[in-house]
Amino acid sequence: MASTSLLKASPVLDKSEWVKGQRVLFRQPSSAAVVLRNRATSLTVRAASSYADELVKTAKTIASPGRGILAMDESNATCGKRLDSIGLENTEANRQAYRTLLVSAPGLGQYISGAILFEETLYQSTTEGKKMVDVLVEQNIVPGIKVDKGLVPLVGSNNESWCQGLDGLSSRTAAYYQQGARFAKWRTVVSIPNGPSALAVKEAAWGLARYAAISQDSGLVPIVEPEILLDGEHDIDRTYEVAEKVWAEVFFYLAQNNVMFEGILLKPSMVTPGAESKDRATPEQVASYTLKLLRNRIPPAFLSGGQSELEATLNLNAMNQAPNPWHVSFSYARALQNTCLKTWGGRAENVNAAQTTLLTRAKANSLAQLGKYTGEGESEEAKEGMFVKGYTY
């Protein structure tokens, strides 16, 4: 992953000027995500953070070749839904047991460079009494933290939402850094069936920019992630059209807020048709549209967004087989955990088998990140779609 030059705050650029000649970072649509870092840009932005060198080092570590991000930042409520799917009660002990299974999988650090945690997990110990953060660091996995406070209705919009959490964010991120976190996530979403309205796009972009600036000031590398939801019947061209507008807006406000580009990870959703569209896209089409978006609109990272485990991996692999100037990685939740959770089933005797399935998926995406994934030997469970209409977490 190549680095970008510092960004210079003045003068204020027109949005059309801002997107010229840029490069981006990646993320994948849904339970997974891809991470990219930019090689070169002609623009410079002043880094206000005293953590500048550390931010660049952290970003490079997370974007290291053959490794990606394990997103395990589901809220307690969402984690409860996952546990309920295997017949377990939503208790702290059960959440602790499952998270222990994930972070302690032997050799996980060979394929995973960063783990996004929920606040409870950041302060939690494993079932053996060791801090979750310490277990990750021992495997050379960078601990991250979800810092937003969830989505709420956006008044004046077309039944859209906005992400809350800027109030008190500076003190929270400072505390998270002291606890061992070194990067952050802020989940805001854009809905295509509901517009998206200009108000919703601007709110999402401005919120991401403020969060990114505040996080960097506390020493945390921000994942910049305007998630374009898979909900809808729209085709891939409509997704592309919306994504271009959203990313132009995001980078315009990142520049206004003096965010240091070398110290961020961009996590754009893969460009796919809506989950309810009659038109399906091949991995090659998804790769083509997504890379085109990146060439035109600078920094993304990918999110799987309800794709099956196999689809998420195939699409990532296709992008890394196509000529592109970026380091395209992954940041997946369900696309890494789905089969693992089912294998575990809440039974202690299944922990080793569940960890093996987690490592299998992590290795598959590690190979895809290098463009070397073949898809041989995949289970039927890996092919099951995971899209949930109106998904929240």
Q: Tell the burial category of 176 from Cβ atoms under 10 Å away from its Cβ (0-12, 13-18, 19+).
A: buried
Is 378 annotated as catalytic?
no
Q: What is the secondary structure of 194-232 as a DSSP string?
A: T---HHHHHHHHHHHHHHHHHHHHTTPEEEE-EEE---S
| Buried residues in 33-51 as b, exposed as e (16+ CB within 10 A) | bbbbbbeebebebebebeb
Q: Report the Cα 55 to chain-centroid distance in Å.
A: 17
Residue found under tokens 């910049």: 224
Question: Do 203 and 153 form a contact (C-beta atoms < 8 A)?
Answer: no
Single-letter residue type at 267: K
Pairing of strands 151-153, 161-163: antiparallel
Q: Secondary structure of the chain: what % helix, strand, coil (to 5)?
A: 45, 10, 45
The first and second tokens of residue 179, run together, are 């606890």
Q: For the residues of 118-138, what is the DSSP string, one character each? A: -HHHHT-B-TTS-BHHHHHHH
Q: Which strand (E) or helix (H) includes residue 315?
A: helix 309-321
Rounded to whole angstroms, how far apart are CA atoms 279 and 369?
26
Instruction: Out of 160, 225, 249, 309, pick the active-site residue.
Output: 225
Does the active-site annotation cover 267?
yes
Q: How far apart are CA 105 and CA 356, in angstroms?
A: 8
57 in Cβ contact with 375 (< 8 Å) = no
Query: What are the backbone angles phi and psi of residue 21, rounded to the nearest 5°?
Result: 70, 20
- Active-site choice (60, 146, 185, 267): 267
Within a 10 A sphere around the Cβ of 195, how many other Cβ atoms? 16
Report how far apart the first and last C-alpha atoms of the chain are (Å, whole number): 30
> Catalytic amino acids?
225, 267
